Structure 1
Amino acid sequence: MKLTWLAAAWLLGLGLAFRWYDATPLLPLIAALLFLCVGLALRLAGLRHLPLIMLGVCLLGVWRFEILQAEPAPALLRDEAQVTVRGKVADDPEATGGRIRFALDVETLEGQVQALDMDFPVGSTRLLVYAHPAPELVSQRPLPYFRFGDLLELSGRLQRPQPIEGFDYPAYLESKGIFAVLWARESAPLTGDPDRKAGGYALATKEALADRFKGWVFDSRRHLFRSLDKSLPPEQAALAQALLLGLRGQLPVDVTENFRQTGTSHLLAISGLHLGIFLLVAVGVLQGTLGRHTPAPLLVTLGLVWLYVLLSGAPPSVIRAAIMGSIYLAALGLGRPRDSLLPALSLSALVMTAVSPALATQISFQLSFAAMAGIALSLPWQEATGKLIESRFQTVKWKLGPGLGALLGWMAAGMVISAAATLATLPLVLVHFQQLPLLGIPATIIATPLLPFCLMGAASVAVLGLVHPLVGQAFGLVGAIPLTLLLQLVEWIPNWTVAVTLEDSGLAWAWYGALLGVLVLADTRMYRVRVLSRLAMISSATRVRDEVLVAGGRLGAAPSGVILLAAVMLVLAAAYVISQIIDGGDNRLHVHFLDVGQGDSILLELPEGGNVLVDGGPDYAGGTQAMAEILPPWDRSLDLLVATHLDADHSRGLLRVLENYRVELVLAGAPDTESLLYPEWNSSLGRGGHNAITVAAGQTVNLDGNVSLKVLHPASIPLRGPAWDANNNSVVLQLAYGEISFLLAGDIESEAERYLVRNADSLESDVLKVAHHGSSSSSTGTFLTAVNPEWAVISAGQDSQYGHPHSDVLSRLEQTVGKSGIFDTASQGTISFSTDGKRLWVKTERGNPSLAMQE
């Protein structure tokens, strides 16, 4: 415990220096040495010495912070600059939205240097880059194309990061060594230097060996990422990738927003909380299976902890937490269980901040340290709470009573850990994020016990999916359950959030002063014996001292709890599968206009069970995530995939669909080799063994259940001229089932509409998918008259930067179908029509209820 107090004094000194002290560092050094000498003299005399030693250590902390050499400041952007940058990819690239995101270590920078306040310190600057892939890399690699160690030349717009809704995003990036964001419009790998190449260093230097090891780790991580992608439904896969691998680029915006507004967003970032829970559960389970009196559980746990660090990408916050956990495991191995976690935490924090005092100012270090400290302080309470609940079930005559008690006790202990970590980090969250989710604490307390199940389930599915995708998908039915529960939980909890301003308040100091008071109380005989024993939570202080205080330890003593948990998970999985089977198969044609933002994606569910996808939306994961809301998780097959044209807002999402779904047939218009997306599209087709069949007006595809898909456009020879771009040559389809028909107009504009009116046999349809997202250049009066629809659907994003749908188009549509006949994905979400060939029903994700529209 003395080490804990010394570490607290050191951190206090760093904090005082950061906040208030701004003078010569010689004075605190002299005072520190004086107090330390007096303290040591008192110790030799057998008198109380700890307060003076602590004061000396505190002043040493002030001195250590003040002697920091000021590092060269990176360039500050007045606004933005057009630049060309050369450098090396410094982390694991990730597909997010419509670009690839990665960090870049800058080697050279050229461009509009007049837009910079000072010279860029190349060689020590890191940028956050959002880039489109180079064609050379697309032909060689799958998504995300770029890899750690790639040497690249990038051209684009360099910007200073801006705060995001009260969150100090620039400070967050600065803590990672990033001071600017580059939006690259062009990228190219560098291969000119014979000693270096795209993919890393060629020479066997120490740096090259380290890069190769990191590259191997990131490649392994990417294999697990793809395994989760193929084994779990997209939304659950994205959550598993965030929790297990630290890759959050595939998380849907609405899911991220749910976590943020409910105050549980910290659960998405791998931190000391995740690793602490992982460590405690692993020790408990392994000691229960391998035995408490052997070092094997501790050694295996140590290996698993560092494997988890590697798979998470080894961010500094997780490495720091792993160091703390490793010291804790070493203390357990040396036979000091009770006081091992706090001293381990204190020693690691003291060593790390002594080497780099600036760590103490980083939000990632503060959150990791605070979370681990909260967990450490809560150990007596979580152990006692779990045993209290478990003891209530020991006398139950039901055979599974003890197992149920062990399971409930484990969950209760997890809630105690969750509450402690949340309370310990609360002031930091308020100060840095400037928001107070009113239900954040109870939401985190309820959600955190699901984390071990999410992590263990995700890890199992990822590994089994490497054996074979079907094996991963089979186990994914069970592994998806805790992930689904967590997603549903943050969706159900009300998003009650208030803005707060605490930058200059003493709340954090007062809060942690109170926690220090709890620490003092926890080290007194009154707390250990009188308080806990009077609450009947433990029998004696000796029991607390001598037992290994881990929440998961009870599972080994009550294996029936594990059996019960497994049975519950299997029953839930079976119930879900049965419900999906019962819910399907109504012999109707279902046409879903998917909400993919500013883009198009249409899913057809055929009467006899087949699936057809027309376009995939603008984001890499948009199409798969939207389809997952409709199709059951085991249905990964498409009878037909149609790319109307290779504009990114229609076809980028098809790339991941081709990777993750079994596609029988691919149709597309004439190859558009000038499209920026063409290299990726062609490469994805090749990796999947597909040959896209070029379609033209006059062709008809007969689908199952008497459903037909007629091609109305483009002409067999694509029309050329100033107005005949990719939009006007996009594929137009007429879908028919019985007496009901849909016209899917792609992105055609007025020129193509006039051409269709003159040349098509019949355009008349019941439902019109409005061309080009409601652009003013489409939906002419003549075309609408020829189609004569009863209902119109506009697929566009909320607050579209292009102004879609245009007011003139809305006016023309109102004159044709009436205001009640217009549907749009921006305000109503996914819009689903169903028909038996005679009648038509519609259901919207948001807004008006289900309607029977035609009898």
Structure 2
Amino acid sequence: MSIKLTVWVILGISIGFYAEVTPLLPLIATVVLLPLLYWTIKKQSSSGFPYVESLVAIIAVALGTFVVGVSTNKGMPNFYGQLDVEHPKVWHLKVEEALKPNAYSHRYVAKVISADKKRASGKLLLSLTPDSLLHPLEIDDELLVHASLENIQPPLNPYQFDYRSYLQKQGIQHQIRTNYPSILKTEKNSNTLFGHASRFREHIISKLKKKAFGADEMAVIQALLLGKRDDISEDTYNNYKNAGAVHILAVSGLHVGIILFILEFLLVPLERLPKGKTLKLVLVVLLLWAYAFVAGLSPSIVRAVTMFSFVAYALYLNRPTSSFNIIALSMLFILLIKPLFLFQVGFQMSYAAVFAIVWIYPKLQRFWFPENLIVRKTWQLLSVSVAAQLGVLPISLFYFHQFPALFFISNLLIIPFFGVDFGLWYSSYCFGTLERIAPIFGQCF
């Protein structure tokens, strides 16, 4: 049932986004149909037309349409787009996310608090000219800026990356372009959990920078462990991309999967206690979210940890037939909270890879199960890689028009060492021994 519900909600999100349906209509439909659904469940016989399933499908579609409408703020009472955005206003903004900077601008996703002292809602792209004398903005910074909104320009050339469409699928319609001297930071800022996580991650990075790491090594460490890719050179990134291993530079499902594997292994003794399996599940989920906090609670890591929290629950149930339902349930949970994730390539590839692994990997293991331990482990690693790549193949071809054939070799060589190195860092951090193993850690990288 969870798979069907997820499909219906996805349909509703797609309709709400592309048809730009106001959230009020699906909300009314949901409120009206829920009592009817309750009455139908009470009265429906065991045979005949599936009234209950049909009503559930309609309600799920309406719910998806509603949540995406709320997420984009279109049709909401205080949406800034309903104001006269062509004339300059004093905007009160709150920094929600720092995007990767370039030589020409520092870019931030900012939440609109008010416009000309009138309450407003929505998200904007804030683009600031770099200034070496001023410190970049941080998460949770609140600021005032007097500016006009600008439309985000479409691509100038055919088949060029459509940045405007990309931002629209994150609920961002306009941008403000200015410079640091033109903004005024407010003294009283309300701190959020995301702000605390971002500052904690920067604290860890500042401690790592005191160690004897080279610039390139430090950039890779920040990316692999903490999800911060700002300092990676274009050459390094392209090398990983061409080798089919660029996924390890983004903290996502691979990293969280490794942590889940480590925790499942280390906490096995707890299963001997009364209610030990339940205690183990709780600790695993808490430690996964602790890593998400350390990594700055970025959207990709929050998405991955949410997904693998459900995977941990599936392992707790130990019923292979429920894996698809649990994964679909995790997707449903994420989309109800962040419906615009549906249009992000990372979200699509993550779930395509996980579904493919759950579906294809067991078939490959039944196809051949070597008796030699080394051959068997190599085949298992290769099988997981093949299953994941087959899952993301259609998406990769659609968005990027390429397929990295080197992933067979690169994953066999890189992933085992990365798993050991990443596990070493995570374990040493948890047990407070990071300071002592830093030189060894640097040599591993």
Residue among 282, 285, 291 paired with 2:262:
282
Instruction: Answer whether contact 1:87 1:107 (CA < 8 A) is retained.
Output: yes
Q: Cα gap change, 1:434/1:330 in structure 2, threshold over 3 Å: closer, same or farther?
A: closer
Instruction: Answer whether contact 1:106 1:124 (CA < 8 A) is retained.
Output: yes
Are positions 1:376 and 2:358 aligned together? yes
Superposition pairs for residues 506-521 of structure 1, below 5 Å?
A: none
1:435 maps to what in 2? Answer: 401
Are positions 1:252 and 2:219 aligned together? no
Distance 1:367 1:218 in 2: 25
Amino acid at match of 2:139: F
> Once the 2 structures are TM-superposed, how far is the Cα of residue 436 of structure 1 from its aligned partner?
1.9
2:166 maps to what in 1? Answer: 172
1:105 maps to what in 2? Answer: 111
Amino acid at match of 2:288: V
Q: Cα gap change, 1:37/1:465 in structure 2, threshold over 3 Å: closer, same or farther?
A: closer
Instruction: Answer whether contact 1:75 1:121 (CA < 8 A) is retained.
Output: no
2:299 maps to what in 1? Answer: 316
Superposition pairs for residues 559-598 of structure 1, below 5 Å?
A: none
1:476 maps to what in 2? Answer: 442
Amino acid at match of 1:149: D
Superposition pairs for residues 712-791 of structure 1, below 5 Å?
A: none
Instruction: Answer whether contact 1:227 1:472 (CA < 8 A) is retained.
Output: no
- The CA deviation string for residues 73-107 of structure 1, in whole angstroms up to 9 with x for no partner, is 7769xxx9999865333235766557654333345
For 1:102, what is the secondary structure of its paired residue?
strand
- The CA deviation string for residues 308-365 of structure 1, in whole angstroms up to 9 with x for no partner, is 21123223343233233223333544x4442443222222323443456554344444
Unpaired runs of 5+ residues, structure 2, are none
> Once the 2 structures are TM-superposed, how far is the Cα of residue 254 of structure 1 from its aligned partner?
1.5
For 1:299, what is the secondary structure of its paired residue?
helix
Instruction: Answer whether contact 1:36 1:56 (CA < 8 A) is retained.
Output: no
1:160 maps to what in 2? Answer: 152
For 2:180, what is the secondary structure of its paired residue?
strand
Are positions 1:150 and 2:116 aligned together? no
Q: Cα gap change, 1:464/1:382 in structure 2, threshold over 3 Å: closer, same or farther?
A: farther
Distance 2:409 2:40 in 1: 49
For 2:402, what is the secondary structure of its paired residue?
strand
Residue among 331, 344, 356 paired with 2:326:
344
2:204 maps to what in 1? Answer: 224
Amino acid at match of 2:96: A
- The CA deviation string for residues 168-211 of structure 1, in whole angstroms up to 9 with x for no partner, is 332333333434555543336746xxxx51xx52xxxxxx3x52
> Once the 2 structures are TM-superposed, how far is the Cα of residue 62 of structure 1 from its aligned partner?
3.4
> Once the 2 structures are TM-superposed, how far is the Cα of residue 161 of structure 1 from its aligned partner?
5.3
For 1:254, what is the secondary structure of its paired residue?
helix
Instruction: Answer whether contact 2:103 2:130 (CA < 8 A) is retained.
Output: no
> Once the 2 structures are TM-superposed, how far is the Cα of residue 222 of structure 1 from its aligned partner?
0.8
Distance 1:175 1:48 in 2: 41
2:349 maps to what in 1? Answer: 367
Distance 1:263 1:86 in 2: 43
Instruction: Answer whether contact 1:371 1:425 (CA < 8 A) is retained.
Output: yes
Distance 1:74 1:155 in 2: 15
Amino acid at match of 2:350: S
- The CA deviation string for residues 790-826 of structure 1, in whole angstroms up to 9 with x for no partner, is xxxxxxxxxxxxxxxxxxxxxxxxxxxxxxxxxxxxx
Write 1 or 2 for the structure with the bigger share of strand: 1
Distance 1:126 1:385 in 2: 52
> Once the 2 structures are TM-superposed, how far is the Cα of residue 418 of structure 1 from its aligned partner?
3.1
Q: Cα gap change, 1:273/1:10 in structure 2, threshold over 3 Å: closer, same or farther?
A: farther
Are positions 1:422 and 2:405 aligned together? no
Amino acid at match of 2:335: T
> Once the 2 structures are TM-superposed, how far is the Cα of residue 306 of structure 1 from its aligned partner?
0.4
**Structure with greater contact order relative to length (CA < 8 Å, sep ≥ 6):** 2
Superposition pairs for residues 604-623 of structure 1, below 5 Å?
A: none
Instruction: Answer whether contact 2:306 2:334 (CA < 8 A) is retained.
Output: no
Q: Cα gap change, 1:8/1:101 in structure 2, threshold over 3 Å: closer, same or farther?
A: closer
Superposition pairs for residues 226-245 of structure 1, below 5 Å?
A: 226-229=206-209, 230-245=211-226
Distance 1:261 1:169 in 2: 23
Distance 2:42 2:409 in 1: 48
Residue among 282, 291, 297 paired with 1:299:
282
> Once the 2 structures are TM-superposed, how far is the Cα of residue 248 of structure 1 from its aligned partner?
0.9
For 1:218, what is the secondary structure of its paired residue?
helix
Instruction: Answer whether contact 1:97 1:249 (CA < 8 A) is retained.
Output: no
Q: What TM-score, normalized by structure 1, do the two folds share?
A: 0.41
Residue among 335, 340, 344 paired with 1:353:
335
Instruction: Answer whether contact 1:231 1:465 (CA < 8 A) is retained.
Output: no
Instruction: Answer whether contact 2:151 2:173 (CA < 8 A) is retained.
Output: no
Distance 2:58 2:212 in 1: 55
Superposition pairs for residues 42-53 of structure 1, below 5 Å?
A: 45=46
Worse-matched range after superposition: 24-33 or 172-181: 24-33
Unpaired runs of 5+ residues, structure 1, are 111-119, 139-144, 202-207, 394-404, 481-855
Distance 2:106 2:29 in 1: 51
1:413 maps to what in 2? Answer: 380
Superposition pairs for residues 324-339 of structure 1, below 5 Å?
A: 324-333=307-316, 335-339=317-321
Instruction: Answer whether contact 1:415 1:448 (CA < 8 A) is retained.
Output: no
Structure whose CA Rg is larger: 1
- The CA deviation string for residues 217-256 of structure 1, in whole angstroms up to 9 with x for no partner, is 2222012223444343322321221222221110101122
Q: Cα gap change, 1:291/1:435 in structure 2, threshold over 3 Å: closer, same or farther?
A: same
For 1:105, what is the secondary structure of its paired residue?
strand
For 2:97, what is the secondary structure of its paired residue?
coil
Instruction: Answer whether contact 1:89 1:151 (CA < 8 A) is retained.
Output: yes
